Structure 1
Amino acid sequence: MANVIDYLPELEGDESLYIGKLLTQLNEEQAEKFANVYRSRRKDPQTILITCLLGFFLIAGVHRLILNQIGMGILYILTGGLCVIGTIVDLINYKDLTFQYNRKVAKEVHSYIK
């Protein structure tokens, strides 16, 4: 039975709990593969926070593009982060946006590994 701290000690909060549940379904070899692939594909919340902050000074929407939300990213670029209001909302919710993306990645990797 795999432990999330053994394979992905950098995870925190809800992400750690979610990944921990997925890892319990894998053997040691599968858990190691999962950790390696997931680590390479996941997005760090701090990166999303920094790129979201760039929306105030340079180009809004870069964080949405990084999270593979192409339509929203283009909309933010064209509207100045939906007149800055969308950027402010995303700044408050950056951890949740990142967790939603990482959860999708984890599901994909888990189905591939299992």
Structure 2
Amino acid sequence: MNNLLMSIPDLQPEELGGINDLIKDMSIEQQQQFILLYSGKRKKPQEILLLTCLGFVVVAGIQRIVIGQIGMGILYLFTGGLCLIGTIIDVVNYKKLANDYNLTQMYEAARMVGLQR
């Protein structure tokens, strides 16, 4: 199992703890399916930071759209990142945005694997 976890780039400690809790009762096949599903869906914090920084120059709110917060992304788009204040807050909190998104994707992947029994 460690080899599978090593295949996920930039795994955060919070993610590792959550993954270990979720997969402890899964079979090896389910664990492999979970890791494949989750690694394809997760976002690295650096990606969120890059997208947020692009919001200053190109399109405000793209980071929110990518993490599934479509309404907030459209609001940022039309208000210039809430007059750049929201974008600045997102630059500071990019790790939290990524971790919250990844946590949601982790549970979704676990549900998908659980349904495939």
Q: For 1:1-114, what aligned pairs fall within 5 Å after superposition? A: 3=1, 5-9=2-6, 10=9, 11-114=11-114
Output the CA distance in 1 between the equivalents of 2:112 and 2:71.
27
TM-aligned CA deviation for residue 50 of structure 1? 0.2
Query: Structure 2 regions of 5+ residues with no counterpart?
Result: none
TM-aligned CA deviation for residue 6 of structure 1? 2.6
TM-aligned CA deviation for residue 20 of structure 1? 1.6
Q: Deviations over 1:11-63 (max 9, x none)?
A: 12211111121121212111001001111111121111100001111111000
Query: Structure 1 regions of 5+ residues with no counterpart?
Result: none
Output the CA distance in 2 between the equivalents of 1:73 and 1:89.
14
Output the CA distance in 2 between the equivalents of 1:82 and 1:25.
44
Output the CA distance in 2 between the equivalents of 1:22 and 1:41.
16
The ranges of structure 1 where at least 4 consecutive aligned residues each deviate by more than 4 angstroms after the TM superposition are none
**3-state SS in 2 of match to 1:8:** helix
Output the CA distance in 2 between the equivalents of 1:63 and 1:102.
14
Output the CA distance in 1 between the equivalents of 2:26 and 2:91.
35
User: What is the TM-score normalised by the length of structure 1?
Assistant: 0.91
Alignment identity in percent? 41
Superposed CA RMSD in Å reads 1.1
User: What is the TM-score normalised by the length of structure 2?
Assistant: 0.89
TM-aligned CA deviation for residue 109 of structure 1? 1.1
TM-aligned CA deviation for residue 105 of structure 1? 1.1
What number of residue pairs does the alignment pair up?
A: 111
